[in-house]
């Protein structure tokens, strides 16, 4: 039994990696994910093209938002077994807390409430210190499968 569960988790982690690998925007942004059981960290390695303001070399807020949205989608997909595909977003709110500097970004998402039709997710992106998030996101996704 334990083995069965482990196999399922393994398969879903592979599906999440496949989602990142076959989604053009995720590839364009250079994303990769590290899955550890039901936990996942998404990484966006720094690239010059991600810059939003060349005068201050800050990463584009929209790129960080897309990064957090993809992270949230992947996390919901990872832990929601009945989903056949990553969930569609209903809406999201992004809080820009600090400037995203010209270096790698990391993100994690957490499901605050899983409902039958929708779920509520929070995610945050950071660089040097997890306790000092660059950007946070709050979003709702459809999980009803249609």
Partner 1 sequence: MSDDAASSPAPWEVMNENIDMISGGIPWGRRMAFRFTRIEKGHVWGLQPWKERLVGDPDTGVIHGGVLTAFLDNLCGTAASSALPKPRFVATLDLRLDYMRPADKGRDIIGEAECYHVTRNICFTRAWAYHESRDKVIATAAGAFAINKPRSVDSMRTM
Residues that bind partner 1 (CB under 8 A): 22-25, 27-28, 48-57, 59-63, 65-67, 69-70, 85, 88-96, 99
In this structure, the number of other CB atoms found within 10 A of the CB of residue 47 comes to 14
Cβ-based nearer residue to partner 1, 24 or 82: 24
| CA–CA gap between residue 74 and residue 87 (Å, rounded) | 8
Residue 130 beta carbon to partner 1: minimum distance, rounded to whole angstroms: 20
CA distances from residue 47 to 37, 58, 63, 103, 139 in whole angstroms, order as listed: 29, 11, 11, 8, 26
* Paired tokens of 20: 């990142």
Cβ-based nearer residue to partner 1, 67 or 106: 67
| CA–CA gap between residue 93 and residue 119 (Å, rounded) | 14
Cβ-based nearer residue to partner 1, 85 or 130: 85
Residue 56 beta carbon to partner 1: minimum distance, rounded to whole angstroms: 5
Cβ-based nearer residue to partner 1, 40 or 135: 135
């Amino acid at each position: 039994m334990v083995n069965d569960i482990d196999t399922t988790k393994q398969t879903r982690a592979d599906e999440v990696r496949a989602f990142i690998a076959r989604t053009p925007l995720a590839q364009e942004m250079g994303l990769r994910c590290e899955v550890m059981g039901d936990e996942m960290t998404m990484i966006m390695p720094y690239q010059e093209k991600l810059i939003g303001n060349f005068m201050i070399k800050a990463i584009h807020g929209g790129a960080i938002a897309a990064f957090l949205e993809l992270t949230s989608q992947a996390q919901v997909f990872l832990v929601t077994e009945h989903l056949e595909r990553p969930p569609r977003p209903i809406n999201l709110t992004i809080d820009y807390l600090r400037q995203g500097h010209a270096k790698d970004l990391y993100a994690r998402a957490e499901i605050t409430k899983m409902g039958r039709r929708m779920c509520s997710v929070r995610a945050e992106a950071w660089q040097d210190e997890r306790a000092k998030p660059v950007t946070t996101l709050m979003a709702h996704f459809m999980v009803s499968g249609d």
